[in-house]
Amino acid sequence: MFKQSSVFLFLLFNFSAYAQKQYNVFDWKADVSLNTYLVQQMHQQYQLRAKNFEQALTGKAQTLAYINSVKERAREVLGNFPEKSPLNAQITGSVKQEGYRIEKVVYQSFENHHVTANLYIPEGKGKFPSVLLFCGHEDLAKATESYQKIAILLAKNGFVVFVIDPISQSERVQLTDVTGKSLTRGSTTEHTLLNLSSNLLGTSIAAYELFDNQCGLDYLLTRKEVDANSIGCIGNSGGAMQAIYFAALDDRVKVIVPCSYLASREHTLSTTGAADGCAQIPNEGSALLEMSDYLIAAAPKPILVLAGRYDFIDYNGTLRSFEDLKQVYTSLGDTSKISLFTFDDGHGISKPKRERAVQWFRKWFYRDDRPIVEPELHTLSDQELFASPKQKVNLSFVRELTIDKRNIQRFEKKAESRAKFAQLSSKQRQEALLKMLNIEVSEHGITTEEVGIVQNKEITFHKIIVRKENEMPLPLLVYYPLKPIKKVVIWLSDIGKNKLADSIQLIKQYVEQQEVALVLTDIRGIGETADKTELNDPKYFSKDYRNAMLALHIGRPLLGQRTSDILTLLDFIKVDPQLKDRSIEINAIGLVGLPALNAVCLSPSIAQLNLYQCIYSYRQVIDQPLAKDRYGIVAYHLLEQLDIPDLVNWIGSEKIHFYP
């Protein structure tokens, strides 16, 4: 242990030369390796899904069984909703328009969490069929011109329309300063950051939005103007994703119209990568759910898919998913209830799509299939449509419980379940940790390949590749001292092994000790296998966003995969003739310390773990939602069972040392 740890790290990162490529172990373009690996794993899951789907089409009974199975799996991945509170709905204003009126509505979904919305009510005697309208990612949300126009067009054609602001948009920005100003660069960023902490607690922003929308339907059904048996929903972009989820989970909806979002999850994640946090659900891939499955769960309800041929949403994926739907409806004998309307434009619910959507709703609720022509429509400003008293829920309600605050509450409430988990035996905790991280204890051994040597100014490193079946190769730099080895020291760093290898300050410590072997490695997604910067949109605040989200999608979080890499490294040490049976010390700089901590919990062979610049509790993640580069330490439901101090207690604090 170095006595002046902070001084040591200063020397390491400030006086070393730039890391050099001669320390690379792989002779291939390794920056795509992790994504390639994850995509292959995902394809295996969807191959099984394709096999199951093919079987589902062999007869009507098999199709119905598949539909029921999808519903169960959708409930599983989208579950863990908050407890409903009384709606306490308020009508805060009304705007009279020609042929309809707009009421400004605020309701609660869970206690002290407010949802803002506009209710469009046609003139005349009800009860009217009704449509829930779910907004995409426009900052104006319900006041977006195209959403106002589809709501007006529906109202003028005999529908009550409820337009709901999503979390993080318009009046519902969650992360703000005291004046209500957003602390992020927009809704996609806020969705993603809030999703991170929500995943740790076993839920997601997609689930929170779905819950808000279901409570919105609860409110809609309290209105005397509404025919409870004639409810439809429509959504655009991210709102279409909500409409798709809604179709699977809420039987009260009878007609569904998603616009500009239905595609192939498999194809999207393997090409352009994950979108923002409100569209990503952990374990969706391992549950064998494609995007089309959520709509299949609603079969044989009438579904109209709206698409733009030149949308950035993959149109071929739209066709693929629609083909799934068509085959299911064919098997059920209800092909008249499924339709695709494509227009030669891009993303969004444009006039031709709005006209076709209203025609579709009238066809099923009014038995009227005449074409709809949209006239000139007058829209209002966002100021005229605001529903909360101070135009932001954060400012309007003193006790407003935002998602970040609720996650803090939930973390604190989970202390009891974490305490119960701590009472399990050591073996039970290890088994639970393996399951939580989805680590399989493989009976297959490792193979090693020495691919060269590289000379530091002080020592010679052996370049070694360690391979294990069904896992990524692990690149090692190993220094074997001339004297008999008494101790093996492993170094890991968020910035990669190459910079460590190039540090004179680090290497001199081990040359002087003489009897210490040094092992430097890059666990997956770091150093040699770090993803390309340009493939991870900076608005998501995570340099490994696409791979971290894909890993969560397939049910194998990066935290678990990186823990597996360290366990593989330990397997290498056990079989290396010069290293086996020696005392092992791990030093980790940054968040790589967390997979190292898991590995120590799972392997008693590690004598000491020194953690530099690592978080000491996941409470820091919950309390700091704006922090960057933390998706790699997320495991779904993790904080329901353990926190970092729990791991330290189980291992023994004498083995673990934290340094700034």
CATH number for the domain harbouring residue 170:
3.40.50.1820
The torsion angles phi and psi of 236, rounded to 5 degrees, stand at -120, 140
Mean pLDDT, range 625-639, rounded to an integer? 97
121 and 23 in a single domain? The answer is no
In the chain, the amino acid numbered 541 is F
540 and 599 in a single domain? The answer is yes
Q: Which tokens go with 5?
A: 């740890």
Mean pLDDT, range 221-230, rounded to an integer? 98
Domain holding 219, by residue range, is 77-367
Q: Which residues contact 402 (CB under 8 A, 6 or more apart)?
A: 113, 174, 175, 394
Query: Is the Cβ–Cβ distance between 103 and 93 less than 8 Å?
Result: yes
Q: What is the pLDDT of residue 13?
A: 56
Whether 267 is in a domain gets the answer yes
Cα gap 660→657, rounded to integer Å: 10
pLDDT over 60 (residue 355): yes
Nearest CA among 476, 435, 423 for reference residue 452 = 476
Cα gap 566→474, rounded to integer Å: 9
Cα gap 566→472, rounded to integer Å: 12
Residue 82 is classified by DSSP as P
531 and 633 in a single domain? The answer is yes
Whether 454 is in a domain gets the answer yes
451 and 584 in a single domain? The answer is yes
Mean pLDDT, range 468-493, rounded to an integer? 95
216 and 138 in a single domain? The answer is yes
Whether 421 is in a domain gets the answer yes
Q: What is the pLDDT of residue 504?
A: 76
122 and 258 in a single domain? The answer is yes
Cα gap 30→25, rounded to integer Å: 10
Whether 59 is in a domain gets the answer no
39 and 82 in a single domain? The answer is no
Q: What is the DSSP string of 290-347?
A: -HHHHHHTTTTS-EEEEEETT-SS-HHHHHHHHHHHHHHHHHHT-GGGEEEEEESS-S
Whether 51 is in a domain gets the answer no
Nearest CA among 600, 576, 589 for reference residue 649 = 600
10 and 91 in a single domain? The answer is no
Mean pLDDT, range 513-517, rounded to an integer? 90
39 and 132 in a single domain? The answer is no
Beta carbons within 10 angstroms of residue 483's beta carbon: 10
560-611: per-residue pLDDT in tens? Answer: 999 999 999 999 999 999 999 999 999 999 999 999 999 999 998 899 999 9
Whether 98 is in a domain gets the answer yes
Query: pLDDT band at residue 506, thresholds of 50, 70 and 90?
Result: confident
pLDDT over 50 (residue 4): no
Query: Is the Cβ–Cβ distance between 261 and 244 less than 8 Å?
Result: yes
Of 367, 383, 401, the residue that ends a domain is 367
Q: What is the pLDDT of residue 618?
A: 98
pLDDT over 80 (residue 19): no
Whether 378 is in a domain gets the answer no
pLDDT over 90 (residue 20): no
Query: Is the Cβ–Cβ distance between 168 and 174 less than 8 Å?
Result: yes
Mean pLDDT, range 272-297, rounded to an integer? 96
Report helix angle 60-78 to 33-56, nearest 10: 140
Q: What is the pLDDT of residue 124?
A: 93
Q: What is the pLDDT of residue 9?
A: 62
Q: What is the pLDDT of residue 510?
A: 82
Query: pLDDT band at residue 12, thresholds of 50, 70 and 90?
Result: low
Query: pLDDT band at residue 95, thresholds of 50, 70 and 90?
Result: very high
Whether 590 is in a domain gets the answer yes
121 and 257 in a single domain? The answer is yes
CA–CA distances in Å: residue 335 to residues 293, 323, 338? 17, 12, 6
pLDDT over 60 (residue 11): no
Q: What is the pLDDT of residue 1?
A: 35
Work out how many domains the chain is built from and give that number: 2
For the ranges 330-339, 443-452, 646-655, the lowest mean pLDDT is seen at 443-452
Cα gap 567→560, rounded to integer Å: 11
294 and 209 in a single domain? The answer is yes
Mean model confidence pLDDT for the chain: 95
Could you identify the residue written with the tokens 């960023």? 189
515 and 629 in a single domain? The answer is yes
Cα gap 652→430, rounded to integer Å: 15
Query: pLDDT band at residue 18, thresholds of 50, 70 and 90?
Result: very low
